[in-house]
Structure 1
Amino acid sequence: MGTDIRGGGEAGRRLAAGAAVPDVLDVEDPRAWITLDQGVRSWVAVKLLPTRATIEGTEAAGPRSWPGSPRRPRRLTESQLALALCHRDGRIREAALALAAGHPALWPLVVVRTADWVSPVRDRAREVLRAVLDVDSAVRLAPLILLGARRGRGVFAVDLLDEVLRPAPRDRLAPLFTDADRAVRRFAYRLAVDEGLLSPAELARAACRRADPVVQDVCAEAALAVVAEGGGHDDVLQPLLAARGPRVRAAAVTALRRAGRAERGEEFLADRAGVVRACARYVVRQAGADPLSWYRRRCADPGDPALPPGAVAGLAECGERADAALLWPLVAHPSPTVRARAVAGLRALDVTDVRRLSALLDDPAPGVVRETTVALLASARSLDADALMERLAHGRPRDVRVAAFRLLDARGGLVRLRAAVALLDDPDAGLRQRAGQSVRSWHPTADVPAGASEVSEVGELLDRGRHRFSDYVLRRRKREAGVRG
């Protein structure tokens, strides 16, 4: 779980020196308790830990211990009890559990012990936890219990948590809905859905506001179940249709048909998310309409400034190769997003005109340049190498230079080596790194000329490239050493 057990060992040594638990441990962090448990067991000397006699109160009453001398219980401090609960000796851990019920601050260690590898310790810890766990302590311990579920034998505590919290009133569960731990939030919303603690409208609002996709799905599905039963259209559907999460919008669009509002599906044919567009097309088809005809009408005017990029993407998703005639004019649209979607659409329809697409490598929008590069990669060998080398010049925009190098690198052969060596001293760190990787992995291919001059150039470029790259690595290491110094 990424715990630093050495830090837990240091915390254990401070506890042994008499420090209070809250002073050495972030008691609100569930991982801190697991770290303490592992650290004490691995990094704290046994002589610093409480003994079994100390825990059971069988130490002598005075400085001398004579046969038959009276004994009196010795009260352990909370810090000592915490160490005993983490002791590497299972008998000491089991003995410490008998005292743990009276120390609510140490109940997190009781939770840890419920998954102990020693059966008697585990059984005793489960008895203690069942005896002390109520709604308030369950809410407090929920993050640690759910974290422990990822470890072996952690199911008992999770089942007990569910058993305690399931009958709890909604207001007692409220802190769990906004807990920093997503596992806790997911547990709380699933519990609320199972017990019907939230109304459909509240579930819809939670699906829209929560960033966690699992919570979104749980709440959206529960809210839309009401729509399937014929109610709550406005309170449930409307917020879900306007949600930021595409999965939530997609579920709501699909529910339009069950709600008898399939005609609204057209509103989402041009949605920005592909999954929503796909659901919208299904709803529209179920209503007897043709989404492809809608896309064709929407993309027919290349000068329409209000053309949504989703309509262009949708045309490519369900269109035919003949629809490329509608997409080509859109590569000159004023909106960069529309231009990028048009290029991506042409690639999806497997329509590649190298000459026309090459001109888009100089587009001012980085998104268009990236989509054009991807569309041209398969045709890299047919591109003008000299024109691409010119685009590597320092004065060109970075996205254009990156695109040119990607295409030159895809060409392979001597062209790739020349381009990589040319960028080894480039001021752009990203391009330098890519160029160095290209030089190191370069190998001759069948298209490399075998003439004496070409062979000589290859050798010279490789020597220069490896020398420059070695210098670059050495300079970088010196800079890093200087920063550390």
Structure 2
Amino acid sequence: MGGVSGSGAAAAVRLAEGATLREAVDTADPAAWIALDAGVREFTSGPDWLPGWERTVTDRALTEALTDGSDARPLTAEWLALGLCHRWGRIREAALERAAPRPELLPLMVVRCSDWAPPVRENARRLLTEVLDAESAVRLLPLILRIGRRGRGDFVTDLADRLLRAAPRDTLAPLYTDPDRTARRYAYLLAVEEGYLSPAELARAAGRDTDTVIQSRCADAALAGLAQGDASGQADGAYDDVLEPLLGARGAQARAAGVTALRRAGRSGRAAGFLGDRAGVVRACARYVLRQAGGDPLAWYRERCAVGGPALPAGAVSGLAECGERADAELLGALTSHEVVAVRARAVAGLRALDVTDVARMRELLDDPAPGVVREAALALLPSARLLDERWLMGRLAAERPRHVRVSAFRLLDAHEGLVRLRAAVALLDDPDDRLRYRARQSVGRWRPTADVPRGSAEVGELLDRARLLDPYAVHRLKWEAGIKV
């Protein structure tokens, strides 16, 4: 067994053999509780019970302990956890009443609120309503949201939502930095809807969070709050508190929102500092703001790229391609020799965006030491792949070549047809690089004879014989299609 089910089954066995709940289950991980629920059922429903489980707990003993108390063993939290996850509904139902006063078993009561057996489900919901409070809902929210995605799981999310909306605003504070992304999204959504955070607090949240959904949600809410302040005449001096965290954010969505807001703040000139941003969405917003203020972003890009130098931001090269013209290809072509790898790669990508391909120069860049540059050069050459010397490309498949050179060379050879493509693919059938070998085998499987392949070609027959181990029947069919005697 592996994955979630296997980890839950292992936890079930450890509980049955006497381990404590914290020893057997990662109680801070919502997935561990769900896995335990599945794991206990797995080991109480099949014939392959482990000897340790069979010695420690039986259905009869557990049933007696939970229904009439006749078993001498005390009902510990571990024993009740097994009962809450048991395959028999009457045992799960009996365990609920005993588990309700135990906070450490609240996660399994949450799980039981979506139980497929109506009596178990209704009892779990009734008991959870009595024992769950806002602080517990915060602690269990990642698990609650996971259960909420199940069928019959809406009750527990609705209950948590009611509790959290009625609680003091500071109750949500631990969720703003929770490792679980879904829990953070929910917390910020609730905070925005209920007005728990000020525009400045929302801007700081957008600036520090790594999730793009949270960045957009908090940035939009922060700027909406500023707009309301504008309407009421209370926004004077508030722009700095909101714009600075957004403009300095690591996330592109937050920076883009901040740059767009510069226009409304009357600070359009600052947008020029973001024309060379690393993110395309930020560059686009900066160009919009400057154009609305009468500026010329294209002139800025041309000037910066003409000066060049090690301080040239790679984003400025992309920006020139995004709003430039074919006449700007000369500037970009010169930058394909720039000392900074990112600038070279963006220059090659920019030429491709302008639909200008210097085949000779791109061919030289296939030997560039930087994988990103080689990758972009190969993409630029793909439409012209059949113009390249196949023997020159085949030489770059050699094992001593850097991996990024070999991958790009094979990609261009695979864009050929007929014998060229088959030769390249067969040459890599036994390559030590797993991914290259996989691609080569796929290429052989997709190969079909074309008009330029002579019928009955001996070379094709030899190449297909080398590929016979892949799929003898497919090779037999290909030989027949190529007119080779089989």
Q: TM-score range by the shorter chain?
A: 0.7 to 0.9
**1:272 maps to which of 272, 278, 291:** 278
- Seen in structure 2, the aligned counterparts of structure 1 residues 38 and 392 have a Cα distance that, compared at 3 Å, is closer
Contact 2:247 2:258 in 1 (8 A): yes
Contact 1:265 1:284 in 2 (8 A): yes
Question: How far apart are 1:329 and its partner, in Å?
Answer: 2.3
Which residue matches 2:458? 456
Deviations 1:120-161 (A, max 9, x none): 322221121111112332223222211211211111111211
The answer to whether 1:48 aligns with 2:47 is no
Which residue matches 1:323? 328
Q: Give the distance between the partners of 1:367 and 1:86, measured in 2 at CA.
A: 51
Which residue matches 1:93? 92
**1:390 maps to which of 381, 390, 395:** 395
Q: Give the distance between the partners of 2:400 and 2:74, measured in 1 at CA.
A: 77
Q: Give the distance between the partners of 1:391 and 1:469, measured in 2 at CA.
A: 27
Which residue matches 2:385? 380
Q: Secondary structure at the match of 1:350?
A: coil
- Seen in structure 2, the aligned counterparts of structure 1 residues 90 and 346 have a Cα distance that, compared at 3 Å, is same
Which residue matches 1:442? 447
- Seen in structure 2, the aligned counterparts of structure 1 residues 429 and 8 have a Cα distance that, compared at 3 Å, is closer
Contact 2:44 2:87 in 1 (8 A): no
Aligned positions of 1:391-406 closer than 5 A: 391-406=396-411
- Seen in structure 2, the aligned counterparts of structure 1 residues 80 and 431 have a Cα distance that, compared at 3 Å, is closer
Question: How far apart are 1:242 and its partner, in Å?
Answer: 1.6
User: Which amino acid in 2 is paired with 1:315?
Assistant: L
The answer to whether 1:83 aligns with 2:89 is no
Q: Secondary structure at the match of 2:336?
A: helix
Question: How far apart are 1:273 and its partner, in Å?
Answer: 0.9
Q: Give the distance between the partners of 2:435 and 2:424, measured in 1 at CA.
A: 14
Question: How far apart are 1:283 and its partner, in Å?
Answer: 1.3
**1:237 maps to which of 239, 243, 258:** 243
Question: How far apart are 1:291 and its partner, in Å?
Answer: 2.2
Question: How far apart are 1:382 and its partner, in Å?
Answer: 1.3
Question: How far apart are 1:184 and its partner, in Å?
Answer: 1.8
Q: Give the distance between the partners of 2:333 and 2:327, measured in 1 at CA.
A: 11
Deviations 1:380-423 (A, max 9, x none): 11112232233334454333332222212211221222233334
Q: Give the distance between the partners of 2:135 and 2:409, measured in 1 at CA.
A: 62
Q: Secondary structure at the match of 1:332?
A: coil
**1:252 maps to which of 248, 251, 258:** 258
- Seen in structure 2, the aligned counterparts of structure 1 residues 18 and 395 have a Cα distance that, compared at 3 Å, is closer
User: Which amino acid in 2 is paired with 1:358?
Assistant: R
Aligned positions of 1:305-324 closer than 5 A: 305-324=310-329
**2:418 maps to which of 394, 413, 420:** 413
Question: How far apart are 1:227 and its partner, in Å?
Answer: 3.3
Question: How far apart are 1:371 and its partner, in Å?
Answer: 0.9
Aligned positions of 1:29-428 closer than 5 A: 29-44=29-44, 47-48=58-59, 54-57=65-68, 76-228=75-227, 229-230=229-230, 231=235, 232-301=238-307, 303-424=308-429, 426=431, 428=433
Contact 2:209 2:215 in 1 (8 A): yes
- Seen in structure 2, the aligned counterparts of structure 1 residues 104 and 350 have a Cα distance that, compared at 3 Å, is same
Segments of 5+ residues of structure 1 without an aligned counterpart are: 64-73, 471-485
Question: How far apart are 1:31 and its partner, in Å?
Answer: 2.4
Aligned length: 453
How big is the alpha-carbon RMSD for the aligned residues of Structure 1 and Structure 2? 3.0
Q: Secondary structure at the match of 1:363?
A: coil
Question: How far apart are 1:24 and its partner, in Å?
Answer: 3.0
- Seen in structure 2, the aligned counterparts of structure 1 residues 430 and 93 have a Cα distance that, compared at 3 Å, is closer
Question: How far apart are 1:19 and its partner, in Å?
Answer: 5.1
Q: Give the distance between the partners of 2:269 and 2:408, measured in 1 at CA.
A: 43
User: Which amino acid in 2 is paired with 1:337?
Assistant: A
- Seen in structure 2, the aligned counterparts of structure 1 residues 346 and 449 have a Cα distance that, compared at 3 Å, is farther
| Percentage of matched positions with identical amino acids | 64
Q: Secondary structure at the match of 2:356?
A: coil
- Seen in structure 2, the aligned counterparts of structure 1 residues 79 and 461 have a Cα distance that, compared at 3 Å, is closer
Of stretches 391-400 and 119-128 in structure 1, the one that deviates more from structure 2 is: 391-400
Question: How far apart are 1:59 and its partner, in Å?
Answer: 5.4
Question: How far apart are 1:178 and its partner, in Å?
Answer: 2.5
Contact 1:201 1:223 in 2 (8 A): yes
Q: Give the distance between the partners of 2:463 and 2:74, measured in 1 at CA.
A: 78
TM-score (ref. length: structure 1): 0.83
Q: Secondary structure at the match of 1:289?
A: coil
Q: Secondary structure at the match of 2:152?
A: coil
Contact 1:49 1:80 in 2 (8 A): no
- Seen in structure 2, the aligned counterparts of structure 1 residues 153 and 3 have a Cα distance that, compared at 3 Å, is farther
Contact 1:12 1:44 in 2 (8 A): no
Q: Secondary structure at the match of 1:87?
A: coil
Contact 1:440 1:466 in 2 (8 A): no
Of stretches 365-374 and 118-127 in structure 1, the one that deviates more from structure 2 is: 118-127
Contact 1:50 1:83 in 2 (8 A): no
Q: Give the distance between the partners of 2:8 and 2:467, measured in 1 at CA.
A: 49
User: Which amino acid in 1 is paired with 2:466?
Assistant: R
Question: How far apart are 1:10 and its partner, in Å?
Answer: 5.1
